[in-house]
Amino acid sequence: MHLDHTARLLLELGAVLLGLGVLGRLAGRFGLSPVPLYLIAGLAFGTGGVLQVEAPESFFSTGAEIGVILLLLMIGLEYTPEDLIDNLRTQAPVGVVDLALNGLPGVLFALVMGWGTTAAVAMFGITAISSSGIISKVLSDMGRLGNRETPAILGILVLEDLAMAVYLPIITSLAAASGGLSALWSVLIALAVLAIVLFGALRFGAVVTRFVASRSNEVLLLRLLGLALLVAGLAEAAHVSAAVGAFLLGIALSADVAERIHSILEPLRDIFAAVFFVFFGLSTDPSQLPAVILPAALLAVVGVGTKFGSGWVAGRRAGVGRPGRIRAGAALVARGEFSIIIAGLVATSVTAELAPTAAAYVLVLAVLGPLAPRLAEPLARRLAR
């Protein structure tokens, strides 16, 4: 039976979204994050996969961009300007240790592989940043939100998110520039724009909140989504990164409306975030995975060890005993959305091996992330006794 273009498009998109729903349900049954399953689905139905989906790439690429914007907007909603200042004052040394411990292995890996400076900076972020979404869900599922080590874990996540606000403009500028003084100039401009936008978010947050706020959920959603896309577009035009613009907008919004916005936006974010992870899989050739799976697995093993080190240092600084330090380290293992966002930003401007390496790395650690706290619990209990 011959199908016209519209019928074929709707059938393929419906099948993709329905399949993602099934995968999400399957991941939930086993207490895992759906991120690795979404990546595998993208690898299976992209170029070189088991069955290639012919739905237009523009739909997935645009949906992926919106997914990144909503992911970062929702993360920004979790923090207030006061949270940022307090965390910088109290947790800055731990944040520096965390970034150094986990970012340097990625840098060394890229240099040893001969990928160049831009790829080394990209690998720094890919290996350094934990997945806030996976970790928060695991802590909630395991009933650990009230544990003594949890504030130390959340402090590290906040500092990592803040570091991303500075890091993303840098890597975006490096990927877009031709090198040398051009790259340096682009980075300086991006950081200057970031400072201005951050000041505006902190100084005029109440004005932004009044503009967005509405009694109608429909009006609130339209205003917020429209403003988020506008801010993200302006940030992208200034080479600051659309993701950072959305993150700062989330910070600017008052805590009074943040909870309501969160409940309204969460389903929309989940849909487009799933499209984002699928699109990354679709744009990665699975035939390249066998060549990078062993290096990526070795890098993942190192990443598990360095995150344990970060959790141990953070727990000790917070006065937590050894069982709590082990729980903190195990909770930080997962990598996810940020690693894929970074790889997606630079994949077309650096070596072709970076995207499949990042995909394999995230696949390993997004699966190990929810398992590590459960596997480490018997050791923590023995130490407690």
Quote the pLDDT of residue 102.
Answer: 95
Q: Residue 351: exposed, middle, or buried by beta-carbon count in 10 A (0-12, 13-18, 19+)?
A: middle
HSE, side-chain direction, 13 A CA sphere, residue 271? 10
Smallest CA-to-CA distance from 73 within 248, 263, 264 is with 248
The residue-averaged pLDDT of 229-240 equals 79
pLDDT-based confidence at 190, cuts 50/70/90? low
| Per-residue pLDDT at 51 exceeds 70 | no
Q: pLDDT for 108-145, tens place per residue?
A: 999 999 998 889 999 999 999 998 778 877 887 777 87
Distances (CA, A) of 71 to 142, 170, 247: 23, 20, 8
pLDDT-based confidence at 3, cuts 50/70/90? low
Query: Which has the higher per-residue pLDDT, 81 or 149?
Result: 149
Quote the pLDDT of residue 180.
Answer: 57
Domains detected in the chain: 72-384 (1.20.1530.20)
Share of the chain above pLDDT 70, in %: 88
Q: What is the CA radius of gyration of the chain?
A: 20
Query: Which has the higher per-residue pLDDT, 68 or 372?
Result: 372
**Contact 34/44 with Cβ under 8 angstroms?**
no
Distances (CA, A) of 304 to 47, 127, 195, 290, 365: 31, 10, 33, 22, 8
Quote the pLDDT of residue 89.
Answer: 72
Give DSSP secondary structure letters for 335-350. --HHHHHHHHHHTTTS
Q: Where are the alpha helices (DSSP H) in the chain?
A: 5-29, 35-45, 57-77, 81-112, 117-128, 132-141, 150-176, 181-203, 205-212, 217-237, 242-252, 255-282, 289-317, 322-331, 337-346, 354-384
CA angle 119, 123, 125 (to 5 degrees): 125
Which CB contacts under 8 angstroms, 24+ apart, belong to 57-64?
57/282, 59/13, 60/275, 60/278, 60/279, 60/282, 61/279, 63/272, 63/275, 63/276, 63/279, 64/272, 64/275, 64/276, 64/279, 64/280, 64/344
Q: Where are the alpha helices (DSSP H) in 177-216?
A: 181-203, 205-212
Q: Which DSSP state fits 48?
A: T
Q: pLDDT for 197-227, tens place per residue?
A: 677 767 777 788 888 888 888 998 999 999 9
Q: pLDDT for 257-314, tens place per residue?
A: 878 888 888 888 888 888 888 888 887 878 888 889 999 999 999 999 999 999 999 8
| 86 C-beta neighbours (distance < 10 Å), count | 13
How long is the chain?
A: 385
Write down the mean pLDDT value for the chain. Answer: 82
Tokens standing for 254? Answer: 């008052």
